[in-house]
Amino acid sequence: YPKAFIYDLDGVITDTAEFHFLAWQKLAEEINISVDRQFNEQLKGINRMDSLDRILERGFSGRIFSNTEKVALATRKNEYYLKLIESIDPSHILPGIETLLQKNKERHIKIALGSASNNASAILDKLELTSYFDYIVDASKVKKGKPDPETFTTAASALGIAPDDCVGIEDAAAGIESINKAGMFSVGIGNAQHLAAADYLVEDTAKLLFEDLIACYSK
Ligand code: B16
Ligand code: MG
């Protein structure tokens, strides 16, 4: 068995990935930039400021924005996002996830969060999942966001577990890259077009079964 599971939040534990998309789309429209679902794939797992940079680069390639302007835009996006997540409750936990967390507990496998979000702890609380977690990595704990491995290596070292005893679960291409660079077993949620680099891939969390994952991990 692996000794730790490190979960991404947005798009794995709950579908806040959709709310991030809607909030960025609203902000982008206000400054005349179009953000569609295809482009949004590049934003998944990327921290707030890096996401804004990618959006501005798409709309105003080469133009320099001051830090004040960027902070104002990023703050506005976060306000839209906070409105969208206001009503999150345990019914928003994606299918299969709580079962997986319970199986981790039964087998004494450590559980960590590896999220790029500043809002991660607040969302786990709303979902009433906080007590499952032995350690939480959010935006405040890392210098380099995904695809840098720091998010996942920080979680493993806080748990005192070697990377090759860890499983990382992600819905974003940047996140899978981060897990792979950390030297962990990577599990992707989504389609092969975006997540081809994952060691194990399922379409959605309902198909993420502990036994299947372990069978593939031990091969
Ligand atoms: P915030 P994850 C990431 O969370 C999201 O995938 C990404 O879309 C978002 O921009 C980032 O968190 C920052 O979130 O604005 O709340 O700090 O997938 O790593 O859990
Ligand atoms: Mg994600």
Closest CA to 194 of 6, 5, 11, 7: 11
What pLDDT, on the 0 to 100 scale, is given for residue 182? 98
Distance between CA atoms of residues 15 and 9, nearest Å = 8
Reduced to 3 states, what is the DSSP secondary structure of residue 186? strand
The mean pLDDT value of the chain amounts to 96
Pocket of ligand 1 from Cβ distances under 6 Å: 8-11, 17, 20, 43-48, 51, 78, 115-119, 139, 172
Ligand 1, residue 151: give the atom nearest the CA.
19
* Helix, strand, coil percent content, the chain, rounded in steps of 5: 50, 15, 35
What pLDDT, on the 0 to 100 scale, is given for residue 61? 83
What pLDDT, on the 0 to 100 scale, is given for residue 80? 98
Query: Residues marked as binding?
Result: 8-10, 24, 43-48, 51, 77, 115-119, 146, 170-171
Q: Output the pTM of the full model.
A: 0.93
Cβ neighbourhood burial of 148 (10 Å; 0-12, 13-18, 19+):
middle
Closest CA to 159 of 180, 141, 182, 136: 136
Distance in Å, CA 9 to ligand 2 centroid: 6
What pLDDT, on the 0 to 100 scale, is given for residue 218? 83
Each residue's pLDDT, cut to its tens digit, for the chain (219 residues) gives 999 999 999 999 999 989 999 999 999 999 999 999 999 999 998 999 999 999 999 998 888 899 999 999 999 999 999 999 999 999 999 999 999 999 999 999 999 999 999 999 999 999 999 999 999 999 999 999 999 999 999 999 999 999 999 999 999 999 999 999 999 999 999 999 999 999 999 999 999 999 999 999 986
Residue ID of nearest Cα to ligand 1 atom 7: 45
CA dihedral 69, 147, 207, 126 (to 10 degrees): -40
> Is the Cβ–Cβ distance between 125 and 162 less than 8 Å?
no
Residue ID of nearest Cα to ligand 1 atom 14: 117
> Is the Cβ–Cβ distance between 119 and 85 less than 8 Å?
yes
What pLDDT, on the 0 to 100 scale, is given for residue 23? 97
